[in-house]
Amino acid sequence: MAVSIYTTPTCSYCRLAKDWFRKEGISFTEYDVSRDQRKADEMVHKSGQMGVPVIDVHGRIIVGFNQPEIERALHRP
């Protein structure tokens, strides 16, 4: 399953999300939108939001570190 997370270096919720993915053994691709304007534009296009994290779980967009929503997107009970 493809998981992407749009982040910034100073975002505490981004760190929480990445730590949770690592703990759960879920591979993800990280995009630092503070350094990559193209990915920042892509994030806004996908989510309609400027805030991070924005998490893309196989096309399902989750704004913020919403663990229950992420688990649903991953098809976990």
Question: What backbone torsions phi and psi does residue 29 show, to the nearest 5 degrees?
Answer: -110, 130
Q: What is the mean pLDDT of each run of 10 residues along the chain (77 residues)?
A: 93 98 97 98 96 96 96 84
Instruction: Please give the residue range of the domain that contains residue 56.
Output: 3-63
The pLDDT of residue 29: 98
CATH of the domain at 59: 3.40.30.10
Residue 75 counted as domain residue: no
The pLDDT of residue 19: 98
Domain total of the chain: 1
The pLDDT of residue 18: 98
Residue 38 counted as domain residue: yes
Q: Beta-strand (E) ranges in the chain?
A: 3-7, 29-32, 54-57, 60-63
The pLDDT of residue 15: 98
Residue 73 counted as domain residue: no
